[in-house]
Amino acid sequence: MREISTWESKRMTNHSIEEALDDAPLSLFHLRAMLISGLGFFTDAYDLFIIGAALVLIKQEWHLTGTMVGLVGSTTLLANFVGAIVFGRLADILGRKKLYGLVAGIMSLGAVLTAFSPNIFWLIAFRFILGLGIGGDYPISAVIMSEYANVRDRGKLVGMVFSMQALGLIAGPIVAITLLASGINHDLAWRIMLGLGALPAVSVIYARRKMPESPRFQSQVLGNSQAAARQLRSYTGGQVGSVEETRRSKPALMSFTQFITDRKMLLTLLGTAGTWFLFDYAYYGNSISTPLIMKTVAPHASLIQSEAWTLIVFAIAAVPGYVLSVMKIDRIGHRRLQLIGFTVMGLAFLGMGLIPGLTSMVVPFLILYGISYFFAEFGPNTTTFILAAELYPVSVRTTGHGISAGVAKIGAFIGVFLFPIITKTLGLRGTFAITFVFALAGTLLTFTLPEPANQSIEKLAEVNKTSGVVQSQTAP
């Protein structure tokens, strides 16, 4: 007689929905959820970073000042702040599913509108609309994946969603180089660059509307384990075994007031929002301004050459960082990886700021710049996204993530807006020296967070609360 495996034996008994999800082996339904969420992040990255290449052309055509360039590049990030907080909170009130397709639709609409902007003011307005959708996608995509994930692979799965940003980072320069090399009119080229951002978002709207509500949210917040169990078995094709179909009549929830007055919740929020804010100041200021940085380092290079160097940095440094973080994060630890990334990234910025003449030597500069990118991805760019999706109770999980992501985008807004101004005043070396200080602060603030790797998100939520509010547990 065939010996029954540990997993099969677990499937033969009823478990709570949370236990079934925590113990489930890595399966096809995880991949499907990841792709649905990840395509949104591909869109986010493409739309956020393509503006750097487009701005080089727009600046020439519309004769923009440095202030206007900074405003165009940063407006979407300001809208991210609003979108992340508003949609993050609404997803905890109305549910993740109701808003998942909506934010993708807003991203699609915003991208199309930017392509038809008649002047700089309309471009800023349409980029704001686009930013609302991108901001809303952050907490919903992250939390849905964390709530479907098992304990052992949660960092990997949520990291895979975020790592789709790498493909968006690469797609932007490829599109820009292709359009510029084709000799197409520059006015049409930047419009195509921006308009193409609508395609990946449109592709996931239907899939997101068909995706069931998060089983953890439906069970613990809506109090309906029966519907959650049925939909979970259907969505996973039976890959998640037998679960209890009990109904909870009065789930205990954490209100927004309780959330913002709970001492441990506020400390966690300081850690997730604060480290993300510090990182995004450094990361977005550099990333969106990369074409301008390359122009400063090599002033005689053509725009195609500058875009090619940008692509090389992303492909050789950023992408391997994403891949390695996904492969190793659950083994290294989520918080520990953030500490490693912040530290080495900061040292790279310090080198670029202190080494005389480095910013005028293309190859040495690109090496250090690439190291900073690698450890940004193999570190806080991935971990800030993950940590904020796993340290909060389910009834305020997208709220906590949304506030963290929103505050982070204020940091990104400041970085993008000030980068051209600071560079003009202090030069690249001074700009990178300031960025080092932000990375150092991020390293220190990371110590306020617990290590969530290989722990149940329900257990983490309970440990992180000090108030008398108790998340409801599965009924006996």
Q: What is the pLDDT of residues 148-172, one digit of tens each?
A: 999 999 999 999 999 888 888 788 8
Residue 5: pLDDT band (50, 70, 90) is very low
Identify which has the larger pLDDT, 381 or 415. 381
DSSP state of 211: S
- Token pair for residue 290? 């990369």
Alpha-carbon span 281 to 279, nearest angstrom = 5
Q: Which amino acid is residue 389, in one-letter code?
A: A
Which pLDDT score is estimated for 468? Answer: 47
* Mean pLDDT calculated for residue range 58-82: 85
Domain coordinates in residue numbering, the chain:
19-211+252-463, 216-251
Left (φ > 0), alpha (ψ -120 to 50) or beta: where does 122 sit?
A: alpha
* Mean pLDDT calculated for residue range 321-326: 93
Which pLDDT score is estimated for 108? Answer: 94
Write the pLDDT tens digit of every residue in 41-69: 888 888 877 887 888 889 888 988 877 88
Residue % of the chain over a pLDDT of 90: 46
Alpha-carbon span 273 to 411, nearest angstrom = 10
Q: Which residue has the tokens 């007055």?
A: 261
Which pLDDT score is estimated for 170? Answer: 82
Alpha-carbon span 120 to 330, nearest angstrom = 45
Contacts of 163 (CB under 8 A, 6+ apart): 38, 322, 323, 325, 326, 377, 382
Identify which has the larger pLDDT, 293 or 48. 48
pLDDT at 2 > cutoff 50 = no
Q: Which has the minimum average pLDDT: 82-86, 208-212, 435-439?
A: 208-212
Which pLDDT score is estimated for 387? Answer: 97
pLDDT at 147 > cutoff 70 = yes
Distance in angstroms between the alpha carbons of the first and the last residue of the chain: 34
Which pLDDT score is estimated for 315? Answer: 82
Which pLDDT score is estimated for 446? Answer: 97
pLDDT at 354 > cutoff 50 = yes
Which pLDDT score is estimated for 160? Answer: 94
Which pLDDT score is estimated for 286? Answer: 67
Closest C-alpha to 373, from 336, 320, 418? 320
User: If you write DSSP's letter for every residue of 12-30 in order, what string do you get?
Assistant: TS-B-HHHHHHHPPS-HHH
Identify which has the larger pLDDT, 361 or 110. 110
Alpha-carbon span 127 to 7, nearest angstrom = 48
Q: Are 305 and 413 in contact (CB under 8 A)?
A: no
Identify which has the larger pLDDT, 464 or 109. 109
What are the backbone angles phi and psi of residue 247, rounded to the nearest 5°?
-110, 130
Q: Which amino acid is residue 472, in one-letter code?
A: S
* Mean pLDDT calculated for residue range 95-110: 93
Identify which has the larger pLDDT, 48 or 400. 400
Q: Which has the minimum average pLDDT: 33-42, 172-181, 226-235, 301-310?
A: 301-310
* Mean pLDDT calculated for residue range 313-322: 85
User: If you write DSSP's letter for every residue of 28-92 in order, what string do you get?
Assistant: HHHHHHHHHHHHHHHHHHHHHHHHHHHHHHHHHHHT--HHHHHHHHHHHHHHHHHHHHHHHHHHH
Q: Which has the minimum average pLDDT: 20-34, 82-96, 118-132, 378-392?
A: 20-34
Alpha-carbon span 4 to 198, nearest angstrom = 49
Write the pLDDT tens digit of every residue in 109-120: 999 999 999 999
Left (φ > 0), alpha (ψ -120 to 50) or beta: where does 95 sit?
A: left
Residue 8: pLDDT band (50, 70, 90) is very low
Closest C-alpha to 47, from 218, 193, 180? 193
Which pLDDT score is estimated for 103? Answer: 94
- Token pair for residue 447? 């110590």
Which range, 168-182, 310-324, 401-415, 449-463, has the best average confidence (pLDDT)? Answer: 401-415
Which pLDDT score is estimated for 288? Answer: 56
What are the backbone angles phi and psi of residue 475, rounded to the nearest 5°?
-65, 145
* Mean pLDDT calculated for residue range 183-200: 92
Q: Which helix (H) or strand (E) holds 464?
A: none
Closest C-alpha to 394, from 10, 122, 21, 59? 21
Which pLDDT score is estimated for 245? Answer: 55
Residue 92: pLDDT band (50, 70, 90) is very high
DSSP state of 396: G
In Å, how far are 247, 248, 282, 366, 468 from 253, measured between CA atoms?
Answer: 16, 12, 36, 50, 11
Cα Rg for the chain, rounded, in angstroms?
22
Q: Are 337 and 302 in contact (CB under 8 A)?
A: no
* Mean pLDDT calculated for residue range 278-296: 73
Average pLDDT, rounded, for the chain: 85
Which is it for the CA torsion 227, 232, 233, 235, positive or negative? positive
- Token pair for residue 450? 């617990």
Q: Return the CATH superfamily for domain 19-211+252-463.
A: MFS general substrate transporter like domains (1.20.1250.20)
